[in-house]
Amino acid sequence: MATAPSPIAPSRVALYLDLIRWNRPAGWLLLLWPSLGALWFAAGGFPGWHLLAVFTLGTILMRSAGCCINDVADRDFDRHVKRTARRPVTSGAISVREALALGAVLALVAFGLVLTTNRVTVLWSFVALAVTLAYPYAKRFVSVPQAVLGVAFSFGIPMAFAAVRAEVPALAWWLLAGNLFWVLAYDTEYAMVDRDDDLKIGMKTSAITFGSFDVAIVMASYALYLAMWAGVAAGKGLSPWFYLGLAAAAAQALWHWRLIKDRTREGCFLAFRQNHWLGFAVFAGVVAGYGLR
């Protein structure tokens, strides 16, 4: 009697691509737009093709490396969360050693790109790596680990200034602080998706810490992000075109309120996934503000 064919196991390449979230580019886009926006602010306009390529490729590589590290660190937690239970490391399809090796290779390639810039940027890259390595473990000890993620996801900003100016002025830290509020907003939306599972396993997240104030704090964080970047743009004398991008971002933030106000998994997850368009609107405003006067 004929037996049903067994399902075909995914190839190693397919598993590695799943590990680095290759089919979910929203993650690296969330890092890319503020980094490129900082490049434009640092250079007073177009920063040149070399730095544009370095920061675009470096962002993709480091986000991918970060996924490897995060999945290794969270493998014992992820198996208890509906959304993450089938991740390659958690399911055992990829070993811890393989995941760490892939992450190390990706980080080394990214470091090779940094070496084409200057000494100041190279030095700051070690700080960026340290924050990236620390974040996955912050969820065990910090009540709002999204703040740590905010630093990690914003570190392209001081590195952009270092690459352009060979220094990191106060302006870069102001932009980083503003961007941190954006990360807090969208990653709290993300945490709201997993709140029930995280409560069961004892994970610390902003969605749990903020409790019934979660939606209000998300919206306040969006407002602070947009206000702080608008203040920088005003100080730099960007044209009114910047404010068109800012208005588009603010409209998206209001739409996100409609998505998350009832705290459904589907609404919160959609809001998180669409955040890269909000960041793109701000970046496009910066580009237009410098280019169209």
At residue 72, does pLDDT exceed 90?
Answer: no
Q: Is the dihedral of CA 288, 45, 56, 129 positive or negative?
A: negative
Q: Specify the pLDDT at position 74.
A: 74
* Out of 29-38, 186-195, 216-225, least confident range: 186-195
H and E: helices and strands count for the chain: 16, 0
The proportion of the chain whose per-residue pLDDT surpasses 90, expressed as a percent, equals 66
> 138-144 long-range CB contacts below 8 Å, 24 or more apart?
139/74, 139/77, 139/203, 139/204, 139/205, 140/203, 140/204, 141/204, 142/204, 143/204, 143/206, 143/209, 144/184, 144/204, 144/205, 144/206, 144/209
At residue 234, does pLDDT exceed 70?
Answer: yes
Q: Is the dihedral of CA 153, 158, 163, 164 positive or negative?
A: positive
Q: Which of 247, 256, 252 is nearest to 278 (CA)?
A: 252
Which DSSP state fits 166? S
* Out of 33-37, 206-210, 239-243, 286-290, least confident range: 206-210
- State which fold the 13-291 domain adopts: Tetracycline Repressor; domain 2 (1.10.357)
At residue 7, does pLDDT exceed 70?
Answer: no
Query: 10 with 93: CB under 8 angstroms?
Result: yes
Q: Specify the pLDDT at position 10.
A: 63
- Residues 9-51 have pLDDT tens digits of 568 888 888 888 888 888 899 999 999 999 999 999 999 999 9
* 152 or 247, higher pLDDT: 247
Question: Directed axis angle between helix 265-273 and helix 241-260, to 10°?
Answer: 160
Cα Rg, the chain, nearest whole Å: 20
Q: Specify the pLDDT at position 136.
A: 80
Q: Specify the pLDDT at position 122.
A: 96
Sketch the domain layout of the chain as residue ranges: 13-291
Mean pLDDT of 227-256: 97
Q: How far is CA 47 from CA 153, 157, 232, in A?
A: 21, 13, 18
Helix (H) or strand (E) holding 235: helix 214-235
Mean pLDDT of 113-133: 94
Euclidean distance between CA atoms 167 and 175, whole angstroms: 15
Euclidean distance between CA atoms 157 and 176, whole angstroms: 6
Determine the Cα angle at 282 with ends 63 and 172, to 5°: 70
At residue 2, does pLDDT exceed 50?
Answer: no
Q: How far is CA 2 from CA 5, 77, 172, in A?
A: 9, 41, 67
| pTM for this prediction | 0.90
Q: Which residues contact 186 (CB under 8 A, 6 or more apart)?
A: 30, 271, 272, 275
Average pLDDT, the chain: 90
pLDDT band at 114, cuts 50/70/90? very high
Query: 114 with 122: CB under 8 angstroms?
Result: yes
